[in-house]
A and B are shown apart, each in its own frame.
Chain A
């Protein structure tokens, strides 16, 4: 077994430890409603004669059950003619149709706070991606911590479609932000309608599901309420007490946010990132030169969550191992715009 082959094996077998999520549609169970003719025979005395009788009954029952199953199957699995391939029907409960709203000209710059149901990832400086609309040219710029992307859009009442070209989803060496950029592009491509209400812009797909949520104003120093996180958020910065220049600091928080703090010089403290929930430690991946450390919490059982407000994770090295300690920031985090 070569190292390369082992790499593929390790990569693929990660999936064995993952729980299998349920399908988008509650299936009534493949195999349920199987015609009686396929039921397992029960052997008993006089196997041969019973088998012959059972086979006859099964044939008749099978024909009858098949005739009955067709409408049952059509009702529960989607009305699909037998000659066409069976597709899993996708059933979604659409959100109420947005009422007519002012055009996108109501506010030209929107800070993205949620993409496909996930809180937006911020840069180390706390910068969120944003959408800037030029209603005259009917174009939109996707800006923020990554190189800008531009697209055209067509609006008709509350319907909107973005015309996207090819794009490179690269945000330098900040992989989390690069992946988010791709998710943003996909969200724009899926958008069919929008609603703008109370300073919140929501882009929805053709099923009415929200694919992107943005705010027209954002005060980093104030707790931010999003559709997925309550008010009273925690702001977490990173202090580099390792004595080494850190090329990359990536954190994942229990509330689901992934924050790319970027490079951090020795002795420096990063800007704070807003998250919904944090404890005295969190998952971290830290790179310095050829060295990579990963801090993997087992769980947070018995731990108290950090209170809303500003906190700092101090990173240090002890015996070559990465250590993390939550502390007070000392000076308040400056307001960021």
Chain B
């Protein structure tokens, strides 16, 4: 109740678009670069996603987690679109994306991570996106399916096949 006795109407004010962009841009860029595997395409994907978000900002969910999920879906779809449009010649992957924090005692863990990174380069884009959403964004299979627009069983299959491929690759990698 306001001081003048009139009822106060609580208005849910959506955060400004600018604030959302500043708060989420870097995180979404890192997600995009894991799918596209190079920064220029990642920037393009995020820019496309934000442009689409801006046009439809009024219809974006008010709830923060749903809004973030919506933005994530836009970025993933934009990343996949860019990968589909890219020429067959692969884009040179920046060296910095391969650098690992080095702890000599954990050489095996570093080797495994290297093998996982190299494996991801060979995965089809949608499968790669599923693996990134699972192990970087820490999403459940239902959320992965909602993001990619596929069935939950398909999302689960993408991730499991990637794990199987990594298991098959690791003995080969250890021989290097």
Contacts and interface: CB of A to CB of B under 8 A. Distances in A.
B150 interface: no
Contact of B54 (A3, A31, A185): A31
B89 A189 contact: yes
A38 B57 CA distance: 10
Contacts of A322: 104
A29 B96 CA distance: 26
A303 interface: no
A293 to B, nearest CB: 6
Given A34-B16, A287-B176, A10 B26 contact: no
Contacts of A48: 6, 9
Chain A residues touching B, majority SS: mixed
Interface of B is mostly: helix
Given A18-B96, A48-B6, A294-B102, A7 B109 contact: yes
Interface residues of B, number: 65
Interface stretch (A80-88, A200-208, A212-220): A80-88
Given A13-B136, A14-B101, A30-B21, A116 B30 contact: no
A47 to B, nearest CB: 6
A20 B30 contact: yes
Contact of B30 (A16, A43, A294): A16
B100 interface: yes
Contact of B21 (A4, A31, A40, A43): A31
A39 B16 contact: yes
Nearest to A16: B30
Contacts of B40: 23-24
Interface string A165-190: 00000000100000000110110010
Q: How large is the interface on A (under 10, 10 to 19, 20 to 34, 35 or more residues)?
A: 35 or more
A32 interface: yes
Interface string B2-27: 11101011010101111001000110
Interface stretch (B62-70, B113-121, B141-149): B113-121
Contacts of A17: 101
Contact of A4 (B30, B132, B167): B167
Contacts of B111: 292
Contact of A10 (B6, B15, B25, B113): B113
B26 A15 contact: no
Interface in A230-248: none
* Nearest 8 CB-CB pairings of A with B: A31-B18, A7-B112, A86-B51, A10-B113, A12-B136, A8-B135, A23-B43, A7-B116
Interface of A: 2-18, 20-21, 23-24, 27, 29-32, 34, 38-41, 43, 45-48, 51, 85-88, 116, 173, 182-183, 185-186, 189, 258, 287, 290-294, 296, 321-322
